[in-house]
Amino acid sequence: MNALKQILKWTIICLLAFITFNFFISSDYEMERTVEIEVHTYIVYEKVTDLHNWPHWAVWWENDTTIITNYTGEEKGLGAKMDWNGEEAGIGALEIISCSLEGMETQLDFGNMMASGFWHFDATDGGTKVTWGMKGEMPFFMRFMTLFLDAMAGADFEAGLQGLKEACESMPARSSEVTVTDWEKQTFIYIENTCTMGDIGNSLGTTYGELFGFIGTNGLQPLSSPFAKWISFPHNAGDEDKVVFQAAVMVATATATERVRVGSTSAGKTLQSTHYGAYEMSEVTHQKMHAYAVENSLTLSAIAFEFYENDPTTVAPEDVETLIVYEVVE
């Protein structure tokens, strides 16, 4: 009986000590890790805001091969969601609640605890400084966990950022020789559309579907591969998340409608180069062309033509071809 009383006494003492200990610990926590990635900010943005990419670089999927992941909501960007269930990882869910070239915020649900994830993208001379972190408030009886959270979760965040760095910097990209090429005045039809960065793929695909539907209905013959003119694009942090583009194709003749417009190229010199590899890395070729123009005292038009020479779903990533054309202003 005395032994039972002793056990009960020390149990109560330990419980009171634990409760008192938690009273003196803040429920708030925050931890983060940072890495330098040698690619343009929007490439990091594309990788991070597409949740389908996370299993390729985040360490949790490597550590727990039993994880089953489901994706819902938007395809990527604002409103994209995923949930997972794994023997070691447990049950959880994540939703993107804001995103821009400055960073991203996510809402995390671990069942018995909610948290906020945050990303910061800071452009540097060599690429992008990426910060990834998590913050929230621990339930009362779990406050002691805030003392160990940084050490426990920090290693996973570091490994994940290294995986992201490798994924971004290893994307295939090369450029053909930059050439000065004459082209004649050509007629094209186009549909202008507006979307967010996260919706570029869907919006461009839908717009081309509408454009080629018009071509088929009106018996027109395309004279080129489909191309796009990017009228407005958020290149830098702080820019509005708004993309304005024209989805177009060359034709012999056409009449404008309320939706389908008619445009034309200028006759004269152009600067051309083919980008091979992931489209996200096409900035490499654009920069190469601008450097060539400076070296040869050429003035380029502000907007480039990007011709999509093959279907990226049917060729290897390194074989995707995008012909980039700038008109030379004389």
Other Cβ atoms closer than 10 A to 37: 24
Looking at residue 253, the DSSP 8-state letter turns out to be -
- Report whether pLDDT(100) > 90: no
Residue 311 CB partners (closer than 8 Å, separation 6+) = none
Q: CATH 3.30.530.20 residue ranges in the chain?
A: 26-169
Residue 320 CB partners (closer than 8 Å, separation 6+) = 276, 277, 278, 279, 310, 312
pLDDT band at 4 (very low <50, low <70, confident <90, very high): low
Q: Evaluate whether 312 touches 279 at the Cβ level (below 8 Å).
A: yes
Beta strand ranges found along the chain (DSSP E): 28-37, 68-73, 80-86, 90-100, 103-109, 114-123, 128-137, 173-175, 179-183, 187-195, 227-232, 243-250, 261-264, 268-277, 299-300, 305-308, 321-329
How far is 23 from 140, CA to CA, in rounded Å? Answer: 8
pLDDT band at 289 (very low <50, low <70, confident <90, very high): very high
pLDDT recorded at residue 67: 93
Q: What is the pTM of this model?
A: 0.70
Residues above pLDDT 90, as percent of the chain: 52
Q: What is the pLDDT of residues 164-204, one digit of tens each?
A: 999 999 888 889 999 999 999 999 999 999 988 778 888 88
Amino acid at 228: A
Amino acid at 324: I
φ, ψ at 284 (rounded to 5°): -60, -45
pLDDT recorded at residue 270: 96
φ, ψ at 31 (rounded to 5°): -145, 150
φ, ψ at 320 (rounded to 5°): -65, 130
Q: What is the CA 328 to chain-centroid distance, rounded? A: 31
pLDDT recorded at residue 14: 43
CATH number assigned to the domain covering 173-329: 3.20.80.10
pLDDT band at 23 (very low <50, low <70, confident <90, very high): very low
CATH number assigned to the domain covering 26-169: 3.30.530.20
Average pLDDT of the residues in 62-78: 91
pLDDT recorded at residue 282: 87
Mean pLDDT across the chain: 85
Q: CATH 3.20.80.10 residue ranges in the chain?
A: 173-329
φ, ψ at 32 (rounded to 5°): -155, 160
Q: What is the pLDDT of residues 128-151, one digit of tens each?
A: 999 999 886 665 445 445 545 555
φ, ψ at 103 (rounded to 5°): 165, -170
pLDDT band at 21 (very low <50, low <70, confident <90, very high): very low
Is 113 or 74 the better-scoring residue by pLDDT?
74
Other Cβ atoms closer than 10 A to 229: 17
pLDDT recorded at residue 234: 79
Looking at residue 25, the DSSP 8-state letter turns out to be S
How far is 262 from 218, CA to CA, in rounded Å? Answer: 14
What tokens does 310 get?
A: 């093959």
- Report whether pLDDT(61) > 70: yes
